[in-house]
Amino acid sequence: MDLNFNKNEDHNKLLLSQLKQKFSKVKLGGGEKRIQKLHAEGKMTARERIDYLLDPKAKCIEIGAFVGEGMYAEHGGCPSGGVVVKVGYIRGKQCIVVANDATVKAGAWFPITAKKNLRAQEIAMENRLPIIYLVDSAGVYLPMQDEIFPDKEHFGRIFRNNAQMSSMGITQISAIMGSCVAGGAYLPIMSDEAIIVEGTGSIFLAGSYLVKAAIGESIDNETLGGATTHCEISGVTDYKAKDDKDALDKIKNIVDKIGDFDKAGYSRVKSEKPALDEKELYGVLPKARNEQYDMMEIINRLVDNSEFEAYKDGYGQTIITGYARIDGWAVGIVANQRKVVKTKNGEMQFGGVIYSDSADKATRFIANCNQKKIPLVFVQDVTGFMVGSKSEQGGIIKDGAKMVNAVSNSVVPKFTVIVGNSYGAGNYAMCGKAYDPRLIFAWPSAELAVMGGTQAAKVLVQIEASSLKKSGEIVDEEKEKALFDKIKARYDEQVSPYYAASRLWTDAIIDPLDTRTWISMGIEAANHSPIEKKFNLGVIQV
Strands 83-90 and 93-100: antiparallel
Which H helix or E strand runs over 319?
A: strand 319-326
289 and 237 inside one domain:
no
Give yes or no for a contact between 72 and 103, defined as CB atoms under 8 angstroms apart: no
Buried b / exposed e along 61-78 (16+ C-beta atoms within 10 A): bbbbbbbbbebbeeeebb
Tell me the per-residue pLDDT of 421-466, one tens digit each, with 9 for 90 and over: 999 899 999 999 999 999 999 999 999 987 776 777 777 777 877 7
**Does any domain span residue 428?**
yes
Tell me the per-residue pLDDT of 309-323, one tens digit each, with 9 for 90 and over: 999 999 999 999 999
Q: Which of 238, 256, 274 is the last residue of a domain?
A: 256
**Does any domain span residue 314?**
yes
Domains contained in the chain, number: 3
CA–CA separation, 201 and 247 (whole Å): 11
**Does any domain span residue 300?**
yes
- 285: pLDDT strictly greater than 80: yes
Give yes or no for a contact between 303 and 271, defined as CB atoms under 8 angstroms apart: no
CA–CA separation, 327 and 376 (whole Å): 14
**Could you tell me which of 311, 187, 190, 177 has the C-alpha nearest to residue 251?**
177
226 and 295 inside one domain:
no
112 and 96 inside one domain:
yes
11 and 92 inside one domain:
no
178 and 295 inside one domain:
no
431 and 458 inside one domain:
no
Banded model confidence at residue 542, pLDDT cuts 50, 70, 90: low
Banded model confidence at residue 347, pLDDT cuts 50, 70, 90: confident
Window from 356-370, 458-472, 487-501 with minimum mean pLDDT: 458-472
Whole-model pTM?
Answer: 0.93
What is the reported pLDDT for 1?
Answer: 58
Beta pairing partners, 416: 378, 440
Going from the C-alpha of 301 to that of each of 15, 282, 307, the distances in angstroms are 19, 11, 10
Which H helix or E strand runs over 20?
A: helix 3-26
CA–CA separation, 474 and 464 (whole Å): 12
**Does any domain span residue 500?**
no
For residues 295, 301, 307 and 308, what is the CA-based torsion angle, rounded to 10 degrees?
Answer: -20
> Quick one: 464 exposed, middle or buried, by C-beta within 10 A (0-12, 13-18, 19+)?
middle
Window from 117-121, 285-289, 294-298, 508-512 with minimum mean pLDDT: 285-289
**Does any domain span residue 157?**
yes
40 and 175 inside one domain:
yes
Q: Residue 245: which CATH number?
A: 3.90.226.10
Mean pLDDT for the stretch of residues 168-178: 96
CA–CA separation, 114 and 155 (whole Å): 6
Q: Which of 200, 231, 256 is the last residue of a domain?
A: 256
270 and 332 inside one domain:
yes
What is the reported pLDDT for 394?
Answer: 79
136 and 173 inside one domain:
yes
What is the reported pLDDT for 515?
Answer: 98
**Does any domain span residue 5?**
yes
Beta-carbon contacts of 507 under 8 Å, excluding residues fewer than 6 positions away, are 63, 64, 119, 439, 440, 441
**Could you tell me which of 480, 497, 347 has the C-alpha nearest to residue 422?**
497
Beta-carbon contacts of 403 under 8 Å, excluding residues fewer than 6 positions away, are 354, 359, 360, 362, 363, 366, 429
Q: Which of 227, 256, 285 is the last residue of a domain?
A: 256
Banded model confidence at residue 238, pLDDT cuts 50, 70, 90: very high
What is the reported pLDDT for 500?
Answer: 96
- 183: pLDDT strictly greater than 70: no
- 65: pLDDT strictly greater than 90: yes
290 and 232 inside one domain:
no
CA–CA separation, 445 and 287 (whole Å): 8
CA–CA separation, 66 and 64 (whole Å): 5
- The boundaries of the domain holding residue 436 are 1-23+264-446+506-541
**Does any domain span residue 47?**
yes
**Could you tell me which of 325, 410, 338, 413 has the C-alpha nearest to residue 375?**
413
What is the reported pLDDT for 541?
Answer: 64
**Does any domain span residue 501?**
no
Give yes or no for a contact between 139 and 158, defined as CB atoms under 8 angstroms apart: no
224 and 359 inside one domain:
no
77 and 126 inside one domain:
yes
